Structure 1
């Protein structure tokens, strides 16, 4: 199993709401905010294919997650953002609970999870958040929510930020 440590990602990625990502090429601001569910569903087969490849547990370089670890992370991104979106729709300007993605990876031991299980859980969590985004109406796109660090999102920008994360990690695993 993996023994090389991952350097925690402490970057504030909210800049992707203002300009395309130079690493993965995704332009979050250009997407239709009412199509997040559809785009999420379109990306799910790429994750399934990535998890079915040989060497899914192998890290491509020291300190870089394996495809399995990235997929487990994306599964958890689906779950976390599903909760955040739900709170934005049901509450007035909620503050999101902190989520330390690096601590989550260690606590859940992403590297030792079973690829078939992660694939099924990722598909289910992806379908759930896609359905929740499908239920968003145009009149709800400006509903706010906040991270504890003060970053303010609307339902629109949460969807844009969310899709960048999913697409960016597909780029990370070359899928």
Structure 2
């Protein structure tokens, strides 16, 4: 550890998130790949879990100096959570990733928006809606969650 109060690059959070990626890489051989990128401009590290079956939900998580972000789904609109850089929030990242691997993710998609619903192993439901684009994201689409295209992602398996 450093003495100046700065977070060490090998703190518990970074070690656990890297360990999550390493464990998934070994566990999901033939079902998914794990990509790791060091972002010098962001001063962070990201991992992307890409299932080989296109009907499964990809997951991306990013570790920054003071936060952890996780994104689930194929459309990169909804399904994004900004979390604190704490062991408790790493637990949540692990639970979200596990839900994706086990096929407990549903995404409703419409023009410039999507809503991702993740069901954790204990039955807790997490949902997040995201929008993209200035004009299209602001365009009202009454009832879009009911008529939008629903994607129920499947568990990770060999294609």
Structure 1 length-normalised TM = 0.24
Structure 2 length-normalised TM = 0.26
Structure index of larger Rg: 2
Structure whose residues are more often strand by fraction:
2
Structure whose residues are more often helix by fraction:
1
Bigger relative CO (Cα 8 Å, ≥ 6 apart): 1
